[in-house]
């Protein structure tokens, strides 16, 4: 089975490596996004998928655009691929690409479709308070994650689940399901159309969404912190400087203090939220400093009960 793989972030790498290692599958080419500046020195660095392709000795291209790019399309057609496998590529593929393979263009999507079509399904499932998520192997078409589904696998979301935990569990889960499903597709497996009910869209996460609004409930704050901990983290203001929140918990207590007010400054930092709920910050990182426990932070912060955070 000749395969061209398209992907960009670290989430895609387990799928690529699984295909490279699988018997009966030949990854003949990889498409990824161009090198981007990163790190303190802002040096150009290859995407994780490009680096994995280089390490494996697989031919890789990184076009600035896919649509109306005759050179990139000619490269794809030259590979004479049976399958085009896409995992978090980050560009919408035109119909000419989907039609350039002989068996099927296939996408690995990190949600239980039709819930959370779009760019940020992992984050949106956690932020919404879903009880489960998963991965789907989907037949690609021109719509945004609208194609029929070949196979799904579920993963529970608990009150302790973090975004990084979902990321690192769903990636190998998707890789295993992909390697299991591709031979079935080649043998004639037909996908099931997605249900029309229950469609939701996972729009991209904005920087503004990672700034805490203390008018949210403590449960919503807790999901926000867990979703983005430890990186890139969520922030709030304290005494005119940023605090990144790394860990905390929802407390089973209530308060009559205004939203965003300090409720307690003992071994942890408790903050009032909407619906009289309270969120306890246990680990944080002050602006310009290393991460520390809330107890260590409070020794020098001189915060008082009733004092508001921004």
Contact 146, 139 (CB under 8 A): no
CA distance 268 to 272: 13
Close Cβ partners of 299 (under 8 Å, ≥ 6 residues apart): none
Q: Which residues are annotated as a binding site for (6S)-5,6,7,8-tetrahydrofolate?
A: 111-114
Tokens of 153: 């696998």
Q: Give the relative orientation of helices 163-186 and 218-228 as an angle to the nearest 10 degrees.
A: 60
Who's near 131: CB < 8 A, 6+ residues apart?
156, 157
Which residues does the annotation place in the binding site? 111-114
Cβ–Cβ under 8 Å, residues 32 and 60: yes
- Do residues 244 and 234 make contact, with C-beta atoms less than 8 angstroms apart? yes
Q: What angle do CA 51, 54, 55 make, to 5 degrees?
A: 85
What does the buried/exposed string (b/e) look like for 162-192 if buried means 16 or more CB atoms within 10 Å of the residue's CB? bbebbeeebbebbbebbbebbeebbeeeebe
């Amino acid at each position: 089975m000749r395969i061209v793989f398209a992907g960009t972030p670290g989430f895609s790498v387990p799928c690529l490596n699984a295909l490279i290692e699988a018997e009966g599958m030949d990854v003949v080419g990889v498409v990824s996004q161009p090198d981007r500046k990163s790190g303190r020195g802002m040096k150009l660095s290859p995407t994780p998928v490009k680096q994995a392709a280089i390490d494996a000795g697989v031919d890789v291209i990184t076009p600035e655009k896919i649509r109306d790019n005759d050179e990139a399309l000619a490269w794809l057609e030259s590979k004479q691929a049976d399958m085009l496998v896409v995992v978090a590529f980050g560009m919408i593929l035109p119909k000419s690409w989907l039609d350039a393979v002989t068996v099927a263009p296939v996408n690995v999507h990190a949600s239980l479709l039709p819930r959370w079509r779009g760019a940020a399904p992992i984050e949106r499932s956690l932020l919404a308070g879903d009880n489960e998520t998963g991965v789907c192997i989907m037949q690609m078409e021109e719509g945004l994650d609208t194609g029929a589904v070949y196979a799904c696998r579920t993963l529970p979301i608990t009150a302790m689940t973090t975004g990084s935990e979902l990321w690192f569990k769903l990636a190998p889960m998707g890789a295993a399901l992909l390697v299991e499903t591709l031979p079935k597709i080649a043998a004639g497996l037909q996908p099931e159309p997605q249900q029309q009910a229950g469609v939701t869209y996972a729009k991209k996460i904005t920087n503004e969404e990672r700034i805490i609004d203390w008018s949210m409930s403590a449960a919503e704050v807790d999901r926000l912190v867990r979703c983005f901990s430890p990186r890139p983290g969520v922030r709030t203001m304290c005494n005119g400087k940023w605090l990144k929140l790394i860990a905390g918990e929802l407390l089973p207590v209530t308060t009559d203090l205004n939203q965003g007010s300090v409720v307690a400054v003992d071994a942890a930092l408790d903050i009032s939220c909407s619906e009289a709920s309270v969120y306890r910050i246990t680990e944080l990182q002050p602006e310009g400093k290393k991460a520390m426990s809330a107890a260590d932070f409070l020794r020098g912060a001189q915060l008082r009960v009733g004092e508001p955070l921004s």
